[in-house]
Amino acid sequence: MSDDFEKAVLINFNYGGNINPQLKEQAAAYIASIKQSSDCWKLCCERFPATLYPEVKFWCLQSLHEVICACYLQLDEGSRQMIKGALLTWLQRDCTSESPALPPFLRNKLAQAIVAVVKREYPALWPSFFRELVAAAGSGPGLADMFGRIMVAVDEDVISLDIPRSAEETKLSMHLKDSMREQCIAEVAAAWFNLTQLYKASRPELAAFVLASAARYVHWMDIGLVANDRFIPLLGELMDHANPALRGAATDVLAEVVSKRMEPTAKIALVQQLKVVDACERLSSNLIAAAGANKAAAAAALAVGGCGEKAKQGGGAAGGGGAGVSAAALDQDDELLGKYAKLLATLASEVMDALKRVENVVISFNVTGLGVDDDAARDATLAAQAANRLLEALTRAALTAFCSGLDTISMPLVPFMSAYVARLRALTKRGQALPAGAQMHIQAVLEGVAAAARYPADGANEADDGSGGPGLGAAAAAAAGSRARLSDAEMLAAREEQWEVEERRRELLEQSAIPAVLHLFLGPKGLGHPSPGVATRACYLLSRLVKTLRSNLKPYMDEMLRQLQPYLVVVATQPPPQGPAVGTAREASGKNLAPVTALVDDRLYVFESVGLLLGQEELPAEQQLAALHSLLQPLQRQIEGNLQQAAAEAGAGRGSGSSSSSGGAGLAQLGSGSWVILQAMEAIARLNKGFKWELCTRNRPQLGAAFLQCLEVSLAVPKALPGSKQLRARFIAFLHRMVESLMATVLPYLPAALEALMAREADVTDMTDVLTLLVQLITRFKEALGKLVEVVLPIAVARVHGLLASDFGQLWLSQGVPSATRNMRGYKTSIIALHCAAGVCAIIVIGIAAYSLAEVNKASRQVNQYLQQSMEYLQGLGLDTVDWMQEADVARKVPWVDWMQEADVARP
């Protein structure tokens, strides 16, 4: 049986394709039958020491691990002792001998099996396990290696909560950690120190592995077991060790020590105790030197290998071996550089966070009126001063490393750079003095982002214009080697990060620095960038910049408008590469002004920027009006000139965007004629945002007249294309914008607008949008809209009754109440129809609040008459209206309660 067993295991592990499939199936079935046997664990214990095949040993360990996980505690005491004794025997016998050495994958599996037993027996049944393991670890390098592997397995299989675990497993993890804290963690920490000290010279790889296992435990153990006079000097010594693995492991442990959660004053004291801040500037200089060496090595590898692919190969054809070695060394150095950068970023971020927490405690006490005693104030002051000194040194070191231009170094430092800029903004808002050199620090941040914003040799390269920008030519791409060929997503993310930093530093800009920032935004590296994502993001961030520095940009306005002109034309007339459907109004804004079918193109923020620049009252009236006309007239012609094409597209059944009320399918079918009309209307609305209503109606009414002319032109859109939901939605949003800016001057245009929106082609969702608009207009203008409501009310009632007859009545009469209730589509249509009816009632009720007392009785009779007609209509369909409305929960869907409160109708 043993021979058959080994043969079956070997066949089962053979993936070379030279085994008969039928034979392999038979072997797999035979192995499966052995696993199902209750004596499988006995076979594993017998065959592991006897066999010479690593595959058979691995199968035995794997099967034994499965038995332990499935039914270890259900076995009798003798069986459990046999399994545990076998595992410990293999540990002490097979892992101490180096000839032949047990392969690493078997060592890992043995450690996993031992930890499975520990998981079930520690601390209740096997309380001495970790002490026995520590004692055995000093017996030789083999057992020291197993000590590290077992500690790693304990973390991965039991302790670490980074791995998703059940509630029971989480409870077990906490129990094991508490038990280790009480019983053995001090001995384990001493073993980490002793083994590292013992093997750092003779076996540096083993010492590095032991330290790497220690790094997993630092975040939950007593910090004093590592941050002490023995361990910290050893870690500092190892960071200068010749072996890169040992340097990296020491760096990881220090990073874990620094990032451990504690009180801010204790964190500042810990960083001072580590005495690593002084070494950070030297470390940052080393990072810069290493980055230069890596670029040179990459260029050499590229030259020797002949191409990027050969440089990546680890040996092969003649002439490629040297390139493969260089690439392997480069990858190793990159990993170490990343760890150094992570340590530097962790130190700087933790010190800045501790400083902020100390400051916030004092601020919160002052805000709440609570006094701070002298001792506490003195402690806070001393802690803040110490943290400021540490942060200044760490910021200099981090900025030096950030400008290396190597992604491995720069990327770990990006979160700290963002947090540092945010801190400067917060200090500015609170009116506090900025740290010394803050302006220079911001400039260094921008230089670092620019240095990281590289492009692939076969991608959208930019010529270096001498402005210190991030462009790389072919020579620089060759010098960067294969690392220059990063993914487009990585490079564009770096470029977008640069624009984020540019915009965030807006409040810190001096007047002399504004031209340089505008040059970046308005040039080919900003709005003119070949990547649509970067260019679109630059449009949005430019609007935020202009909104904050609006008055400071007046001296540059003429030049800005000249440079923005070509971008305005492109945004208004050319769809983005991904198509016209960029987003929806409700996604871009929390306001519920426009229906969800309204398109939003983020490039249109550039029109908003221009509106903010032109809408300043300090500008000369003639210059302001002339500039506004030069922008609005082309957009008006764009609307008028494309109506015929849009109507033709709608008549041909394409491009109308009317196939879906939700906007999804309709947006995809939007034709070119309809799209340019949509874009022009939204561009006008964005321009209008920069003009206050007092400026357009009182101070300079000629500006309001220019926008009213645009409204008059736009009235033709819903008339010419009544079936296009996207155009209706955009027109409603446009009308909202004009009302906000022009106030009562739009009243003469409302009858024509409402008449066009209530065309025969309007369905129940369209009528809901119209009635919502009408109610909002009534709440804004009140009695000024009285005559218009008297004219519109009969039309609205007729349209709602028509929709009820076609959409609602037919459904209920043909299918009956029960089946219609189950028909969710018809049910939704019915609710929307009632929503429209409720909207008409709300218009009349709000009208009661707006009109004079003489109109109350007349309006009340109209309400009662309309409600009576509606109830009779529903009862004619065989419906119990009260019970049906309660069943359908119509009370939550009827909007008049909110509208009445908004219109202040609730008063007696």
Q: What DSSP line would sit under 267-292, residue for residue? A: HHHHHHHHT-HHHHHHHHHHHHHHHH
Nearest to 345 by CA among 255, 270, 406: 255
CB 312 within 8 A of CB 327: yes
Instruction: Output the CA torsion sign for 63, 64, 65, 66.
Output: positive
CB 848 within 8 A of CB 786: no
Dist CA 250 CA 241 (whole Å) = 10
Nearest to 541 by CA among 496, 583, 572, 585: 496
**Measured between alpha carbons, how far is residue 181 from residues 211, 228, 230 in Å?**
19, 17, 20
- pLDDT recorded at residue 152: 96
Q: How is residue 76 written in tokens?
A: 């009798």
Dist CA 301 CA 330 (whole Å) = 10
Q: How is residue 766 written in tokens?
A: 């369209």
Tell me what the mean pLDDT of segment 699-721 comes to: 88
- Residues 776-817: pLDDT tens digits? 787 778 777 777 777 777 777 777 767 665 544 444 444 444
What backbone torsions phi and psi does residue 496 show, to the nearest 5 degrees?
-65, -35
Dist CA 684 CA 702 (whole Å) = 16
Q: Please list, in sequence order, all residues whose beta carbon lies within 8 angstroms of the beta carbon of residue 679, skipping any fewer than 6 positions away.
A: 571, 572, 573, 601, 604, 638
Q: For residue 602, which amino acid is it?
A: D
**pLDDT above 60 for 539:** yes
Alpha-carbon torsion angle 105, 107, 111, 114, nearest 10: 120
CB half-sphere exposure, 397, CA atoms < 13 A:
27
Tell me what the mean pLDDT of segment 476-487 comes to: 37
CB 807 within 8 A of CB 768: no
Q: Where does the pLDDT of residue 842 fall: very low under 50, low under 70, confident under 90, or very high at 90 and above?
A: low
- pLDDT recorded at residue 758: 81
Dist CA 319 CA 257 (whole Å) = 46
**pLDDT above 70 for 121:** yes
Residue 529: helix, strand or coil by DSSP?
coil
Tell me what the mean pLDDT of segment 333-352 comes to: 87
Q: How is residue 462 written in tokens?
A: 């930019």
Q: Any idea which of 258-262, 301-305, 434-438, 806-810 has the lowest mean pLDDT? A: 301-305
Q: Which ranges of 743-806 does DSSP label H, i.e. alpha helix? A: 750-757, 764-781, 786-803
Q: Where does the pLDDT of residue 371 fall: very low under 50, low under 70, confident under 90, or very high at 90 and above?
A: low
Alpha-carbon torsion angle 424, 429, 435, 439, nearest 10: 60
Q: Where does the pLDDT of residue 538 fall: very low under 50, low under 70, confident under 90, or very high at 90 and above?
A: confident
CB 715 within 8 A of CB 753: yes
Tell me what the mean pLDDT of segment 318-322 comes to: 32
Higher pLDDT, 764 or 887: 764
Tell me what the mean pLDDT of segment 102-117 comes to: 94
Q: Where does the pLDDT of residue 198 fall: very low under 50, low under 70, confident under 90, or very high at 90 and above?
A: very high
Higher pLDDT, 832 or 209: 209
Higher pLDDT, 449 or 200: 200
Dist CA 435 CA 449 (whole Å) = 21
Higher pLDDT, 896 or 711: 711
Dist CA 496 CA 616 (whole Å) = 29
**pLDDT above 50 for 883:** no
**pLDDT above 70 for 885:** no
**pLDDT above 50 for 278:** yes
What backbone torsions phi and psi does residue 617 show, to the nearest 5 degrees?
-70, -20
- Look up residue 698 and give its DSSP letter: I
Tell me what the mean pLDDT of segment 4-9 comes to: 89
Can you name the residues that pair with 670 across neighbouring β-strands?
655
Dist CA 508 CA 552 (whole Å) = 13
- Residue/partner pairs of 411-415 with CB below 8 Å, 24 or more apart: 411/341, 411/452, 412/338, 412/341, 412/342, 412/344, 412/345, 413/341, 413/344, 413/345, 413/448, 414/497, 415/345, 415/349
- pLDDT recorded at residue 836: 55
Nearest to 752 by CA among 782, 783, 708: 708
Higher pLDDT, 748 or 905: 748
**Measured between alpha carbons, how far is residue 674 from residues 644, 657, 819 in Å?**
10, 8, 40
Q: Where does the pLDDT of residue 404 fall: very low under 50, low under 70, confident under 90, or very high at 90 and above?
A: confident
pTM value > 0.95: no
Can you name the residues that pair with 584 across neighbouring β-strands?
599
Dist CA 863 CA 845 (whole Å) = 8
- pLDDT recorded at residue 222: 93
Higher pLDDT, 883 or 570: 570
Q: Which ranges of 95-203 does DSSP label H, i.e. alpha helix? A: 104-121, 129-137, 141-154, 167-183, 185-199
Neighbour tally for 318: CB within 10 Å: 5
Dist CA 887 CA 47 (whole Å) = 71
Tell me what the mean pLDDT of segment 214-224 comes to: 94
Tell me what the mean pLDDT of segment 707-735 comes to: 87
Q: Where does the pLDDT of residue 891 fall: very low under 50, low under 70, confident under 90, or very high at 90 and above?
A: very low
- pLDDT recorded at residue 367: 61
- pLDDT recorded at residue 837: 54
Higher pLDDT, 221 or 426: 221
- Residues 630-682: pLDDT tens digits? 999 999 899 888 888 888 887 776 554 554 433 444 444 567 788 888 888 88
Dist CA 629 CA 585 (whole Å) = 27
- pLDDT recorded at residue 757: 84
- pLDDT recorded at residue 430: 80
Burial call 422-444: b when 16+ CB within 10 Å, e when fewer: ebbeebeeeeeeeeeebeebbeb
CB 697 within 8 A of CB 566: no
What is the overall mean pLDDT for the chain?
A: 75
Q: Any idea which of 170-179, 629-638, 876-885 has the lowest mean pLDDT? A: 876-885
- Residues 589-641: pLDDT tens digits? 333 333 334 456 788 898 998 888 888 888 888 888 999 989 999 998 998 88
Tell me what the mean pLDDT of segment 387-394 comes to: 88
Q: Where does the pLDDT of residue 129 fall: very low under 50, low under 70, confident under 90, or very high at 90 and above?
A: very high
Residue 576: helix, strand or coil by DSSP?
coil
CB 417 within 8 A of CB 402: yes
Q: Which of 181-185, 265-269, 523-527, 569-573 has the highest mean pLDDT?
A: 181-185
- Max distance between CA atoms of the chain, in angstroms, equals 109
Q: How is residue 542 written in tokens?
A: 């430019």
Burial call 128-159: b when 16+ CB within 10 Å, e when fewer: ebbeebbebbeeebbbbbbbbbbbbbbbebbb
Dist CA 479 CA 292 (whole Å) = 10
- Look up residue 432 and give its DSSP letter: P
CB 808 within 8 A of CB 875: no
**pLDDT above 80 for 46:** yes
**Measured between alpha carbons, how far is residue 601 from residues 64, 72, 178 in Å?**
61, 62, 55
**pLDDT above 80 for 409:** yes
Dist CA 322 CA 314 (whole Å) = 9
Dist CA 309 CA 561 (whole Å) = 47
**Measured between alpha carbons, how far is residue 471 from residues 318, 455, 872 in Å?**
35, 7, 74
Q: Any idea which of 37-51, 150-164, 730-744 has the lowest mean pLDDT? A: 730-744
Tell me what the mean pLDDT of segment 234-243 comes to: 89
Q: Please list, in sequence order, all residues whose beta carbon lies within 8 angstroms of the beta carbon of residue 859, skipping any fewer than 6 positions away.
A: 844, 845, 847, 848, 851
- What kind and span of H or E run contains 394? helix 374-402
Q: What Rg value do the Cα atoms of the chain yield, rounded?
A: 37
Can you name the residues that pair with 655 across neighbouring β-strands?
670
**Measured between alpha carbons, how far is residue 163 from residues 153, 155, 169, 782, 888 in Å?**
13, 10, 11, 61, 45
**pLDDT above 80 for 337:** yes
Residue 721: helix, strand or coil by DSSP?
coil
Q: For residue 885, which amino acid is it?
A: M
Q: For the chain, percent helix, then strand, then coil, each to nearest 5?
A: 75, 0, 25
**pLDDT above 50 for 887:** no
Dist CA 436 CA 388 (whole Å) = 11
Nearest to 67 by CA among 13, 113, 33, 32: 113
Token look-up 């340019």 returns 676
